[in-house]
Structure 1
Amino acid sequence: MIKDNFVSSTNTIWMIIGMTGQAIFSARFVLQWIYSEYRRESAIPMSFWYASIVGGATLFAYAIYRRDPVFLVGQAFGLFVYLRNIELRFRESRQAMESRSR
């Protein structure tokens, strides 16, 4: 009985983690939409990439718990892409600051 309650509680906690990750991951599109409307052009804010990382990492953890190889590969590749885009944006900012200081 105690073991069944523990398993049920663990499953519930992981379900909440998975749903939270999905909510964060989905919210990034709302962030992008609002940012684009504000700028009056299609644009991707840094918050999109940060939400991608947080949501993707949370979903990756959930995929590990579920032992779902398809979900794992998809999220692992996505995390690589999100991190790379953040790196590129930081490089862009650094270069812009260097060119302004010259």
Structure 2
Amino acid sequence: MNGAVKAANKNVKRILSKMTETYKDWHKQLSYALCAYRTSVKTSTRATPYSLVYGMEVEIPSLRILSQTELDEAEWAQACYEKLNFINEKRMTALCHGQLF
């Protein structure tokens, strides 16, 4: 597992180096870099780390989209619950892709 941790750290470090101008302001960009890393698709699993943990992709709709859909909380909660039902299937698929990779 140390190899996986080193690879993840290297990727986060690379993202941070692209986002910062000086080495002194890396801590201000760390949360954004981690978000970018967690929501990007990995080649070995063909999924994002976020989706494997939480069972759904990060969805940040704009205010315009929210106002147009007029989705109430009950419907939104039901949609999230349905996505969670498929999390084990997603994890098994990612595990198979990882082993094949």
* TM-score higher than 0.5: no
Which of the pair is proportionally richer in helix? Answer: 1
Pair member with larger Rg: 1
TM-score, normalised via structure 1 length: 0.31
TM-score, normalised via structure 2 length: 0.31
